[in-house]
Amino acid sequence: MSRDQLGSRIKKVGFMLTCKEASKLVSQSLDRPLTLSDRIKLRFHLFICDACKRFNAQMFQLRAALNSLVKYAESDTTVTLPLEARVRITKTLESKHY
């Protein structure tokens, strides 16, 4: 049985996610752990759907790149706000009563 035939069979029994559902779970998996049921459904979908498999890989690459950028920015002590911006922010914070 080919991968496409397996995909068609799984779709018929209602276990298969749509690409829209799969991409939503991929996005959610970046923010929170998925339930076991969602992880299994997503794995099956990624097994038979090359487009979602690519989307999943790209999302993880994007997250890794953003994490690297954040770490770099946090470690760069040469980046400072201009004096004018610091004064403006300080005045704004002082005028607010939280």
Residues that bind Zn ion (CB under 5 A): 19, 22, 49, 52
Closest CB to Zn ion among 51 and 62? Answer: 51
CB of 56 to Zn ion, least distance (A): 9
Residue 42 DSSP SS3:
helix
The DSSP-derived string for 46-89 is HHH-HHHHHHHHHHHHHHHHHHHHHHHHHH-TT----HHHHHHH
Closest CB to Zn ion among 22 and 25? Answer: 22
CB of 51 to Zn ion, least distance (A): 5
CB of 21 to Zn ion, least distance (A): 9
Closest CB to Zn ion among 25 and 74? Answer: 25
- For residues 26 and 60, is the Cβ–Cβ distance under 8 A? no
- Sign of the alpha-carbon dihedral angle for 3, 15, 38, 35: negative
